[in-house]
Amino acid sequence: MLLTAEALLTGRELLRPGWIEISNGVVDAVGAGPPPQQADRDLGAVIVVPGFVDTHVHGGGGTNFSAAARSVTATAVDFHRRHGTTTLIASLVTAAPDELLHQVTELARDVADGLIDGIHLEGPWLSTVRCGAHQPALMRDPNPAEIDRVLAAATGAVRMITIAPERDGALAAIERIVDAGVVAAVGHTEATYEQTRAAIAAGATVGTHLFNAMRPINTREPGPVIALLEDPRVTVELITDGVHVDPAIYRHVSRSAGPDRVSLITDAISAAGMSDGTYRLGPLAVDVVGGVARVAGTQTIAGSTATMDHQFRFAVHNSGLPGDEALLSAVRQASINPARALGLGAEGLVPGADANLVVLDADLAVTGVLRRGSWVVAV
């Protein structure tokens, strides 16, 4: 299949016009200008970008991944795919030991079947002081035996684990996680600057939704935010839904971290794509008012109701960069950087990579989605 478009962003460069050749679900070749032969389809005045990679998402379309049921997972995945997410890591909130094992075991089957691309454990080894939308009573210190049981049950499906560095045994746990080939992330933490640096030295390479559920910056205690931002080994997540971080914060972090270290995430819950109302995130009730999710009866933000196409548009419109530069930056943050951070294979629309792409109109609305060479949303 040979496709042409007015603009094609590979993740490395902007081709205007551009073409892409695909066979057996994989990118064979890309190029600028006229295609080498007659195109099977001219997509016209659109922008083609690599499929979005969401490495931190709890659910959508009325369902949560914590339900750990195939039909429920499929509903959430289908919802996000229609918004351009071609690679999805299912995130689980803090749960009791037996429930966590059950969730991981069930979702590992969905990874093996190709429904999702991995599992992210956001808990239970987090700080009760920065619990966010997690149940504090279920949080606990990382226990080597429990970590081993969870990783064994996952059979390689767990791609990332968020941990609070200040918990007893956290640094040893990070080393254990990394030795198992899993990405360790710092988040939901009251850690000091020094404790966070120690976590990075132990192998942590991701900052979970920077600023949110995290000790804030103080003039005499920089805390985890500064430690994560200043280390070139760390990729920092940002929830660019217009609620979690101000546009000025987004611009500052993008400049500070540079082009390769910011990863856009949705942190979406079951309420994504749904109307206002009451939902659940793990054991907690969540109220959604005006599209903003909060733990019931509190002002604590509980994930988001956003999709990756929304995050991408936010990045383009709030980057402060001129036209094409803004697009290139947003593509890196929504596709290239998260894939690299979690080791999810070839990055972008390059030969040998999975043929995952999103077709956007002039307003950056999704008009087509191709996943592994098959149309999810046909143009």
Query: Could you list the active site residues?
Result: 267
Measured CA to CA, the distance from residue 56 to residue 60 in angstroms comes to 12
Measured CA to CA, the distance from residue 187 to residue 210 in angstroms comes to 8
The stretches of the chain forming alpha helices (DSSP H) are 70-81, 97-112, 144-154, 170-179, 193-202, 223-230, 247-257, 308-318, 323-331, 337-341
What length does the chain have?
Answer: 379
| Residue 209 is assigned to a ligand binding site | yes
Q: Tokens at residue 105, please?
A: 């075991």
Residue whose structure tokens are 């190709």: 114
| Residue 220 is assigned to a ligand binding site | yes
| Residue 302 is assigned to a ligand binding site | yes
CB atoms within 10 A of CB 128: 17
Given a contact cutoff of 8 angstroms between Cβ atoms, the answer to whether 70 and 353 are in contact is: no
Under DSSP, is residue 76 helix (H, G, I), strand (E, B) or coil? helix
| Residue 213 is assigned to a ligand binding site | yes
| Residue 345 is assigned to a ligand binding site | no
| Residue 212 is assigned to a ligand binding site | yes
Q: Tokens at residue 1, please?
A: 């299949």
Buried b (16+ CB within 10 A) or exposed e, 301-337: bbbbbbbbbbbbbbbbebbebeeeebbbbbbbbbbbb
Measured CA to CA, the distance from residue 369 to residue 367 in angstroms comes to 7
Residue 118 CA to its chain's centroid (Å):
11
CB atoms within 10 A of CB 149: 15
DSSP state of 66: G
Q: Tokens at residue 342, please?
A: 């979690």
Given a contact cutoff of 8 angstroms between Cβ atoms, the answer to whether 173 and 147 are in contact is: yes
- Binding site members: 122, 133, 188, 209, 212-213, 220, 244, 301-303
- Binding site members for Zn(2+): 122, 188, 209
